[in-house]
Structure 1
Amino acid sequence: MITQVRSELSRYLRTETVGGSILLIAAAVAVLWANSAWSDAYFSLRDFQVGPSALHLNLSLGTWAQDALLAVFFFVAGLELKRELVVGELSDRKKAMLPIIAAVGGVVTPALIALAVGWGEPGIEQAWAIPVATDIAFALGVLALTGSRIPAGARVFLLSLAVVDDLLAIIIIATVFTASIAMLWLLAAVAGAALYWFAQHRRITTPLLYVPLAMFVWYAVHEAGIHATLAGVVLGLLTRVRPDPGEDEAPATRLEHRIQPYSAGFCVPVFALFASGVPVNAEVLGTMFTDRLTLAIILGLLLGKTIGIFGVSWLVVRLRIAVKPAGLDFRDMFALSVLGAIGFTVSLLVAELALEGAEQEKAKAAVLLTSLAASLIGSALLLRRGRVHDARTQAEPADNG
């Protein structure tokens, strides 16, 4: 009975609507708690340090959430990307072209807009990276909630776009926010990742090998001075996605089904809880639209993402470099492009890495408010497009008759 309940809970947590809802609730709790009379308790909990000092792991709970729990999230993202590249939509070069090129446009355009608006402001040399990422869980959650009447190709396009987008964001994190690299630890991480690949190649399945090995790779990447979430992406990409003859599921599918509920139901919400607790008072709101750094983030996310994703998609389809997903109009793709402006998880992570103090708090507030605005605007557009598709579906039988 307990196993059945646990299985039902896991299935429930795998749905994008639930994952996005839990993420949103965690962020709302953080904002309310950080702006309440109990705010001292929130910041004390976030900054409470735990872990062995001898291993350089005496970290705050907020840092543990950022470095360790998000590594689980990015492991799942790596599994999704590997599956899409090998056996999914991205395995077909013509179908893969559109979301890949759109993702590049959705990374470059926000960065350029952020640099143009914030040029000369202290911190912009790293803060330009804040608006480049799309939150997979949140964006797909909004799509599942309000875009159920949009053709199925919408989910595939948005998922592929967001996965490639996050991979690019991780590359930026690994390069821009790595001051120095400890080469011996980097070599140790490479050796651990190679052993993981070899174990996959040899069809070894025991978690008694993989769990300690994954923890070692994470620790080695952390000690190398590279953001530890990169370990999750690398291991996800090294996981086998094609099932052997007689094998019900490939390891990637099996791991995603087992780990994704923990990622969506615990890891990402806990990170959001610790990352989203920013003061949102009259002073912060008053300066948000006059401070050039926060304006750079807001315009980079809301305008840069929408223009970059939709503009590049429209251009490559018109030039016949790529094709639209079946059943989708350009107006559908515009609505999906607005959902791309939901930065949230990765944008909050980059804000924590790029800025400090009051500037970091303002940047986080800008990410939260812009992501909320993008989700509301995108939802309205998707609901409108859903009615259009419904009307077409109902008209088709009459036309055929």
Structure 2
Amino acid sequence: MSSSRRTRTTFQRFIESEASGGVLLMGSTALALAVANTFLGGAYEEALHARVAGLDLRDWINDGLMTFFFLLVGLEIKREMVEGQLDTWPRRVLPLVAAFGGMFVPAVIFMAVNFPHPENWRGWAVPTATDIAFALGVLALVGSRVPGSLKVFLTSLAIIDDLGAILIIAIFYASNLSIAALAVAAVFAAALYWLNQRGETRLLPYILLGVLLWTAMLFSGIHATLAGVVLAMMIPIDNAGDGRHSLLHSMERALSPWVAFLVLPIFAFANAGVAIKWNLSLLSPLGLGIVGGLFLGKQIGILSAVYLAKKARIALLPAGASWRQIYGVAALCGIGFTMSLFIGLLAFTDPETEAVLKLSVLAGSLLSVLVGALVLLTVTPAKSTPAT
């Protein structure tokens, strides 16, 4: 085999690997931290605040480029609800209950720590989110040490978690609402619904209306990225035959590599960079609330919810999984990163608070990676016993 053939094969395997998206996110984060803490830090911040067509470059990334991430998340949610792992209520119960516990307990921990500090209350949702790319990437690196049922469980849980985060952003982080802009957005959303109902399968009409919807939502007070979710819900999915040639499936396949290998790494590089100063303490109420919520709250909430669901006999546990493996997956759900940073940047605008936010999300996510991976790596398939 020639060198070029070997290189191409290795590259293809990397692109197709579930771990590669997480690896690139980690690399982008490390690069952002390195740049922010060198002589390039000033130029880094200056570039991100450069004005382009009326918005900062970072705003174009967070409000514009991330719309494609939310579009992909919306497509995944719809597909799973229609024909995937969430297509029936018995399949939805366990990840739904686990996701609720994994969002409720971190929020309680955050508010318990920050209750005497009302200025921090807007950050209550920061530790409630799970980064599906990072979590699945770490799980993929663990390999065959965990049963496939746990991967399905984690994916379903993370998708429901994403849906919860989307609802939180829409309800709790809207500001300065414009009724006129919302009315215009509603007209475009109705037009998208009409296209769906009449069975339109061409992509162009959906894209044009989606761009108009995004523009209206940019001025509405509701975060513009949610236009991607609305558009996703209107994309048709055909259940006839194998259903794999519907517009939704085509869009999801086309978007996945762009989001994993371009959108999310750019977002990470633009938002994870923070100059680490000794006066920025993770022991502040904000830092403790975020780290404690992500690292402790996620695993406690998910594991407790799964245990109660089993005791109440309303859900079955993942087949072939031990309680230790379930705990490891629960710990991995404390990897907040993308969505946690996204919510945090909506909650806080002060530079010093943003710095504490970023360091806290990184610290909580890193602890979750280390503990989750360690737990899963110490369990071999031969020694795994079904959870009882």
- What residue in structure 2 maps to residue 46 of structure 1? 48
- Structure 2 equivalent of residue 231 of structure 1: 227
Give the equivalent residue in structure 1 for 2:4: none
> Are the equivalent residues in 2 in contact too, given 1:133–1:347 (CA < 8 A)?
yes
Match of 1:118 among 114, 118, 121: 114
Matches within 5 A, 1:261-340: 261-284=257-280, 287-289=281-283, 291-340=284-333
Contact 1:14/1:264 (8 A) holds in 2? no
Contact 1:244 1:250 in 2 (8 A): no
Taking structure 1 as reference, are residues 392 and 346 closer, same or farther at Cα in structure 2, changes over 3 Å only?
Answer: closer
| SS in structure 2 of the partner of residue 188 of structure 1 | helix
How far the C-alpha of 1:283 sits from its partner, in A, is 3.0
- Percent of aligned positions that are identical: 38
Number of matched pairs: 378
Relative to structure 1, the CA distance from residue 163 to residue 14 in structure 2 (aligned partners, 3 Å threshold; closer, same or farther) is: farther
Evaluate the alpha carbon distance shift between residue 126 and residue 147 of structure 1 in structure 2; reply closer, same or farther with a 3 A threshold.
Answer: farther
Equivalent residue in structure 1 for 2:201, among 190, 201, 205: 205
- C-alpha displacement of 1:390: 3.5
Change (3 A) 1:6 1:325: same
Q: Partners of 1:145 and 1:79 in 2: how far apart?
A: 25
> How big is each residue's C-alpha offset from its partner over 1:168-204, in whole Å with a ceiling of 9 and x where there is no partner?
1111111221123212222222222232233233332
Deviation, structure 1 residue 220: 1.3
For structure 2, the residue ranges without an aligned partner over 5 or more in a row are 1-6
Deviates more, 1:104-113 or 1:226-235: 226-235
Residue type of the alignment partner of 2:49: D
TM-score, structure 1 as length reference: 0.89
Partner of 1:358: 352
1:111–1:129 CA contact under 8 A, matched in 2 = yes
Call closer, same or farther: CA 1:247–1:299 in 2, change over 3 Å: closer
**Helix, strand or coil at the partner of 1:282:** coil
Q: Is the 8 A contact 1:123 1:354 kept in 2?
A: no
| Number of the residue aligned with 1:342 | 335
CA 1:187/1:319 → structure 2, altered by over 3 Å: closer, same or farther?
same
Per-residue CA shift, 1:239-262, capped at 9, x if unaligned? 223344596522221111001111
Structure 1 residue identity aligned to 2:27? I
Distance 1:199 1:9 in 2: 39
Which one of the candidate residues 364, 368, 373 is aligned to 2:367?
A: 373
Determine helix, strand or coil for the equivalent of 1:224: coil
Q: What is the 5 A alignment of 1:1-400?
A: 13=15, 15-51=17-53, 58-245=54-241, 248-284=244-280, 287-289=281-283, 291-355=284-348, 356-385=350-379, 387=380, 389-391=381-383
Question: Root-mean-square deviation (CA), in Å?
Answer: 2.2
What SS does the aligned partner of 1:203 have? coil
1:241–1:330 CA distance, 2 compared to 1 (3 A): farther
Paired AA for residue 26 in structure 1? S
Residue 174 of structure 1 contacts residue 227 of structure 1 at CA under 8 Å; is this kept in 2?
A: yes
Offset from partner CA, 1:125-152 (integer Å, 9 cap, x none): 2011111100111111111111433111
Task: Classify the secondary structure of the residue corresponding to 1:328.
Answer: coil
One-letter amino acid matched to 1:238: M
1:64 is displaced (CA, Å) by 1.2
Summarize the Cα distance change of 1:6–1:234 in structure 2 as closer, same or farther, 3 Å threshold: farther
Separation (CA, whole Å) in 1 of partners of 2:112 and 2:178: 34
Deviations 1:323-374 (A, max 9, x none): 1122222221111110110000011111111122211111111101111111
CA distance in 2, matches of 1:311, 1:167: 21
Deviates more, 1:87-96 or 1:197-206: 197-206
> For the structure 1 residues 248 and 109, does the alpha-carbon distance in structure 2 shift closer, same or farther, using more than 3 Å as the test?
closer
Task: Give the partner amino acid of 2:18.
Answer: E
Find the residue that maps to 2:80 and give its secondary structure.
helix
Aligned-partner Cα distance in 2 for 1:235–1:330: 39
Output the CA distance in 2 between the equivalents of 1:126 and 1:23. Answer: 26
Q: Which runs of 5+ in 1 are unaligned?
A: 52-57, 394-401
Conserved in 1, the CA contact under 8 Å of 2:99 and 2:302? yes
Q: Report the more deviating stretch, 172-181 or 234-243.
A: 234-243
1:254 and 1:6 map into 2 onto residues whose CA distance is 25
Q: Tell me how far apart the structure 1 counterparts of residues 41 and 118 of structure 2 sit (CA, whole Å).
A: 28
- Asked if the contact 1:34–1:278 (Cα under 8 Å) also holds between the matched residues in 2, the reply is yes
TM-aligned CA distance change 1:190 to 1:7, over 3 Å: farther
Q: Distance in 1 between matches of 2:90 and 2:242?
A: 31
* Partner AA of 1:375 in structure 2: V
Could you say which residue in structure 1 is the equivalent of 2:3?
A: none
- Asked whether the 8 Å contact 1:13–1:264 carries over to 2, the reply is no
In structure 2, relative to structure 1, the CA distance for the partners of 1:222 and 1:170 (3 Å cut) is same
- 1:87, 1:242 within 8 Å by CA — same for their partners in 2? no
